[in-house]
Amino acid sequence: QVQLVESGGGLVQPGGSLRLSCAASGSIFSIHTMGWYRQAPGKQRELVATISSDGSTNYADSVKGRFTISRGSAKNTVYLQMNSLTPEDTAIYYCNVRSAMSSWWGQGTQVTVSS
């Protein structure tokens, strides 16, 4: 009943930029936090960035200063602006939404940084 749809992934050269989008729909009555996680081949899924309902943000040290998370004016929408990308950023990026009782995940969008 709840669905998260990600978009914006693709192939980009080192130093380039991408903007990821996530739109949530369904019976979500109160969203506390929206965020992005990523999983590279052979590695565990890790936190990239989160934004809470009051607008406060949190970033992984590896992306701080390069990535920016924001919420859209549209309901249940979150973005991730990624600048100065490196091959270490190559991963599947997953959108996450949390309420008081539940957590939902998107199916992921592939980001590949390569020359």
Question: Which stretches in the chain have pLDDT values below 50?
Answer: none
Place of tokens 């539940």: 102
- Report phi then psi at 87, rounded to 5: -55, -25
pLDDT at position 100? 87
Tally helices (H) and strands (E) across the chain: 0, 11
